[in-house]
Chains A and B, each alone.
Chain A
Amino acid sequence: MIVVLRHPRREIRIEGSRRVHALLAELELTREAHLVIRNGTLVPGDGLLEADDTIEIRPVVSGG
């Protein structure tokens, strides 16, 4: 799957499918500080991300 990351915006490729929780853990991202977006809506923690999905991991922590 293609994973879009932010700050700055960039893309990485992950082989195979994953649950949202597993993907965040693999990338060492805190669940409380991120949301996963697919086709304009959110995918919950146990949601399955397919190998051919394009998803965005959106950090939610702001500094100001």
Chain B
Amino acid sequence: MKCRTCRGPAVIDLPRHNANFCAEHFFELCRRQVTKAIDEHAMFGTDDRILVAVSGGKDSLAVWDMLVELGYRADGYYIALGIGDYSEESREITERFAAERGLALRIESLRDDHGFDVPTAAKVTGRVPCSACGLSKRHLFDRAAREGGYDVVVTGHNLDDEAAVLFGNALRWDVEYLARQTPVLEAGDGFPRKAKPLVRLSERETAAWCILRGIDYVIEECPMAAGNRHLQYKELLNALEEKSPGSKAAFYSGFLDRMSPLLADDRRRDVLHRCVHCDSPTGGESEVCAFCRLVERTRGQEAVPVEMLVKKKSRSRTSRRGD
């Protein structure tokens, strides 16, 4: 196989582009796709201060690496979730990534800073771990951006993530979620702007970026993810992609071009007030936001080992909306 651009030996075949690339020209393609996503959706500019939500996985490290390489001002923000060895390893990898490149990384620990961890929250609330985890991540990203004076929070969601979430939302015809599924969410009501610069790259491509760039990332999965619906949707979409390359991109970009504009009216946010504890915007009846309520409920609870939940979880299938 030869590189489409230089005719040198290729390292990767990309069926959806009907082409093969050497490492250098594969990088060029990725940069072009990311730049296109940033420009097309007016995500941010080179003057903006960007906070990248990093997990130590391939996508968040790839997006951080690309943004820095493209000349953006991007700092990292990592949340230690307390999910056993998985969290330990992902923290080490993230810290090393930042240190080797001299990048600013802010670390927040659920256990040390807020007195609980994801397994304990799952036990106390009686809900799946991803529920407390997603709630905590969204809350803390927003808060970190607000307190740190950042213009935008960037996450590593890729094309496969977005296509799988879209598939799930469409299966349920969840109009509220469909309306909000855009590559950029504008700031407002105390929430920072949020952007997903990797929406034009598949996860095979973001993984290839990391491997070819020599980026060490967490390969093992979060033990809580096994068998969730999000993964089942990805499997279905990949089966389709295999038969008909380009299906995922067409599904997602068709939604953005033709469906999403029709849902603009449904994109309104709820009426919000400020949490009396942490000053975060929050809806509903309570004076206190959902995160502060979670902190309260888990206070003084004994830590729950991860293994307990993994076993329990394999018996009951869970659903997530992919946060």
Q: Residues on A close to B: CB < 8 A?
A: 6-9, 30-35, 37, 40-47, 58, 60-64
4 closest residue pairs by CB, A with B: A63-B225, A60-B207, A45-B13, A42-B11
Which residue on chain A has the smallest CB distance to residue B323? Answer: A64
CB neighbours of B135 from chain A (8 A)? none
Beta-carbon contact of B241 and A32 below 8 Å: yes
Chain B residues in the interface with A (C-beta under 8 A)? 1, 10-13, 15, 20, 23, 55, 57-59, 130, 160, 202-204, 206-208, 211-212, 214, 219-222, 225-226, 228, 230-231, 234-235, 238-239, 241-242, 322-323
Q: Find out whether the CB atom of B204 lies under 8 angstroms from the CB atom of A60.
A: yes
A60-B207, A64-B322 known, 13 other contacts, Cβ within 8 Å: A32-B204, A33-B204, A33-B235, A34-B204, A40-B211, A42-B211, A44-B10, A44-B13, A45-B13, A58-B207, A60-B58, A60-B204, A63-B230
Q: Could you tell me the distance between the alpha carbons of A47 and B212 in the complex, rounded to whole angstroms?
A: 16
Q: Are A35 and B203 in contact (CB under 8 A)?
A: no
**Contacts A7-B221, A41-B212, A43-B11 known; A64 to B204 CB distance under 8 Å?**
no
What's the Cα separation between A49 and B50 when bound, in Å? 42
Q: Is the CB–CB distance between A44 and B11 below 8 Å?
A: yes
User: Are A62 and B59 CB-contacts (below 8 A) given A31-B15, A32-B204, A42-B208?
Assistant: yes
With A6-B219, A35-B204, A63-B225 known as contacts, the answer to whether A44 contacts B12 (CB < 8 A) is yes
Cα A17 to Cα B117 in complex, Å, equals 48
From A8, A9, A42, name the one whose CB has the most chain B CB atoms within 10 angstroms. A42
When the two chains form their complex, are residues B214 and A62 in contact, meaning their CB atoms are under 8 A apart? no
Known: A46-B13, A60-B58, A61-B160. A33 touches B212 (CB 8 A): no
Q: Are B13 and A35 in contact (CB under 8 A)?
A: no
Q: How far is B55's CA from A42's CA once the two chains are assembled, in angstroms?
A: 24
- Of A35, A45, A46, A60, which is in contact with the most chain B CB atoms at under 10 Å from its CB? A60
* Number of A-B residue pairs with CB-CB distance less than 8 Å in the complex they form: 88
What A residues does B230 contact at CB under 8 A?
63
Query: Are A31 and B242 neighbours in the complex by a CB distance under 8 Å?
Result: yes
Q: How far is the CA of A31 from the CA of B238 in the complex (A)?
A: 9
CB B133 to nearest CB in A, in angstroms, measures: 8
Indicate if the CB atoms of B242 and A63 lie closer than 8 Å: no
A44 touches B20 (CB 8 A): yes
Q: How far is the CA of A35 from the CA of B203 in the complex (A)?
A: 11
Report yes or no: A61 in contact with B1, Cβ–Cβ below 8 A.
no
A41→B23 CA distance, assembly (Å):
9
Q: List the B residue with the shortest CB-CB distance to A42.
A: B11
Check A6 against B220 for contact (C-beta < 8 Å): yes
Tell me the nearest residue of chain B to A37, going by C-beta: B211
Min distance, Cβ B206 to any Cβ of chain A, angstroms: 8
A30 to chain B, nearest CB (A): 5
**Contacting residues, chain B, for A44 (C-beta < 8 A):** 1, 10-13, 20
Choose among B55, B219, B235 the residue that contacts A58 (Cβ–Cβ < 8 A). B219
Chain A residues with CB under 8 A of B225: 62-64
Which of B204, B220, B235 has the most chain A CB within a 10 Å cutoff?
B204
Question: Contacts of A35 on B, CB cut-off 8 Å?
Answer: 12, 204, 207-208, 211
